[in-house]
Chain A
Amino acid sequence: MKHYFRAAFRDIIDGLLATDVWMTLAWQEVRQRYRRSLLGPFWLTISTGAMLLAMGPLYGRLLGQQIGAYFPYLAIGFVVWQLLAGLTNESCFAFTAAEGYIRNIKLPLTVHVMRVIWRNLIIFVHNFVIVLLVFAVFVGEVTWRLVEVPLGVLVILLNAIWAGLLLGLLCARFRDIPQIVASLVQVAFFLTPILWRSDMLGRNEWAAKVNPYYHFVEIVRQPLLGASASQESWAAVAAVTIVGFSAAFLMFARFRARIPYWV
């Protein structure tokens, strides 16, 4: 039993340290996707921007919101959501998509999780241009609170490690989980306060707050809107991080050696 834990721990540490490998592979994948296009990954920025320009006024009107306050709320939340959704969905393929590597060369399995995370971070940084624009136009006030933004992103990425290990493993064994996850993520978009605010639910606000995605969005969105995320959100995020890592580590320790046989 002890051997399992030690090997899993080694895999995670070695994987994290192999920065050259995962950064190179992730960059290569992003470039591959956009290679002969002029704007490259900025196409994503443009499509996100176009979507927000269309949705902002529409939903602002539907929900009777002041556009000046609603638009930055929506735009920032949406860009953060795309990071969360991308990480969740692509975590499912962390190992199955790396089948060739896993079966032929010795690399820590965590490398493949880090590669998914780095690829999504690269895309997020491109999309973040929108956040900066929106911030400059609608908010503009630079305060010390903004240091909470990179901290929030870092916490999201940290959680993506356990999510990648756990989902990657489960999806390697059970091939219909990626479909289940994709549908759940789609539903979660509407259930998470991005288009709407949690306080619009009134007495039923708890329905937003039991959703862990909400708190992950909040820790990045609030400081950009000039406030701090609530202690409640940070507490929820901390709890998810601890429980997630514990569960993922146990599963990974138990089944790590089986993954090459599954992919």
Chain B
Amino acid sequence: MAEIVARDIVVDFPIYGTQSRSLKKALVRAATGGAIARDANERVIVRALDHISLELHEGDRVALIGHNGSGKSTLLRVLAGAYEPVAGELRIKGRVASMLSIALGMDFESTGYENIHLQGILFGMSKDTINKKIDEIAEFTELGDYLSMPLRTYSSGMAMRIAFAVATSIDPEIILMDEWIGVGDAHFMDKANARLDEFVRRAGLLVLASHSQELLRRVCNTAVLLDRGKIVCVGGVDEVIGRYGAL
């Protein structure tokens, strides 16, 4: 049973200028007792998530709503396990798939097939699993013989088809998505959407950040409104979208 329980999660981003990144400056600071370079030592800290508490369960399709910089992406990265919160407690049950950057690690000098392997491994598949799924993935992309060619000969849309097909071929229990990952031209888009719907249906839990209210209404059954790193309210999608409009 997929489940996410977060209690009082806090994430602070230190903002380093070149000053505080320099070892020399740090040494001077230490040597001078901090008197001379004190200004440089005053780190600016941005609180990206401010005491976030959430409980998400199997069957939840959660919409993350909020302005740019409200903490949606940071929250997704925390749930993905990339960022560890500086305070608070996070418990996640179930295999998590992060769709935050599906084209990560794609190599333009390698062929389509090689990229399928590469992507598969980054999504945590074993070599055997990839070999089992590769025909299905290749067929879905409709790229045919192109798959034996280096990716640099592809259009960007074609390359994205590979990333999309691999990402949606895994079987996670929890899916994290920053904007709906649609690809392709009109014909392919329908096919991709159908595959994505099925992918999301298979998973127990979805957390989706998006600015498209139409999409959120269609896909999600509950919503969380974030503002400046804090949760404003949790509730039905329509209700929360209403609050967002009033923000």
A interface list, Cβ under 8 A from B? 20-21, 24-25, 28, 31-32, 35-36, 100-106, 173-177, 180, 257, 260-262
Q: Does B31 contact A (CB under 8 A)?
A: no
B23 contacts A180, C-beta separation under 8 Å: yes
Given contacts A31-B109, A100-B104, A104-B77, contact A20 B126 (CB under 8 A): yes
The one of A24, A25, A32, A104 that contacts B101, using a Cβ cutoff of 8 Å: A104
Contact flags B79-118 to A (C-beta < 8 A → 1, else 0): 0111110000000000010101100110101100010011
The one of B83, B101, B107 that contacts A260, using a Cβ cutoff of 8 Å: B83
Decide if the interface of chain A is mainly helix, strand, loop or mixed.
helix
11 contacts between A and B (CB under 8 A): A21-B121, A21-B122, A28-B110, A32-B109, A32-B110, A36-B109, A102-B82, A104-B80, A174-B23, A175-B22, A262-B16
B-side interface residues, number (CB < 8 Å):
32
Closest to A22 in B: B121
Complex alpha-carbon distance, A36 and B110, angstroms: 11
Q: Does B191 contact A (CB under 8 A)?
A: no
Residues of chain A within 8 A (CB-CB) of B146 are none
Shortest Cβ gap from A260 to chain B (Å): 5
Shortest Cβ gap from B8 to chain A (Å): 17
Q: Which residues in window 3-42 of B have CB below 8 A to A?
A: 13-14, 16, 18, 21-24, 26
Complex alpha-carbon distance, A176 and B26, angstroms: 11
Complex alpha-carbon distance, A24 and B14, angstroms: 33
B23 contacts A177, C-beta separation under 8 Å: yes
A100 contacts B105, C-beta separation under 8 Å: yes
Shortest Cβ gap from B46 to chain A (Å): 11
Closest to A29 in B: B107
Known: A105-B82, A260-B83. 16 other contacts (CB 8 A): A20-B126, A20-B127, A25-B118, A31-B110, A32-B107, A32-B109, A35-B150, A102-B82, A103-B77, A104-B100, A105-B122, A106-B98, A173-B21, A174-B23, A175-B18, A176-B21
Complex alpha-carbon distance, A24 and B118, angstroms: 7
Shortest Cβ gap from A84 to chain B (Å): 23
B83 contacts A261, C-beta separation under 8 Å: yes
Residues of chain A within 8 A (CB-CB) of B18 are 175
A176 contacts B24, C-beta separation under 8 Å: yes
Residues of chain A within 8 A (CB-CB) of B122 are 21, 101, 105
Complex alpha-carbon distance, A161 and B101, angstroms: 28
Given contacts A24-B118, A31-B109, A174-B26, contact A100 B101 (CB under 8 A): yes
Shortest Cβ gap from A8 to chain B (Å): 12
Residues of chain A within 8 A (CB-CB) of B14 are 261-262
Contact flags B125-144 to A (C-beta < 8 A → 1, else 0): 01100000000000000000
The one of A24, A35, A260, A261 that contacts B121, using a Cβ cutoff of 8 Å: A24
Complex alpha-carbon distance, A98 and B182, angstroms: 26
Residues of chain A within 8 A (CB-CB) of B82 are 102-106, 260
Most buried by A among B16, B24, B105, B114: B105
Complex alpha-carbon distance, A100 and B102, angstroms: 11
Residues of chain B within 8 A (CB-CB) of A174 are 21-23, 26
Closest to B123 in A: A105
Shortest Cβ gap from A29 to chain B (Å): 9
B96 contacts A28, C-beta separation under 8 Å: no
Shortest Cβ gap from B122 to chain A (Å): 7
Complex alpha-carbon distance, A28 and B126, angstroms: 17
Shortest Cβ gap from A74 to chain B (Å): 35
Complex alpha-carbon distance, A262 and B12, angstroms: 12
Complex alpha-carbon distance, A25 and B100, angstroms: 20
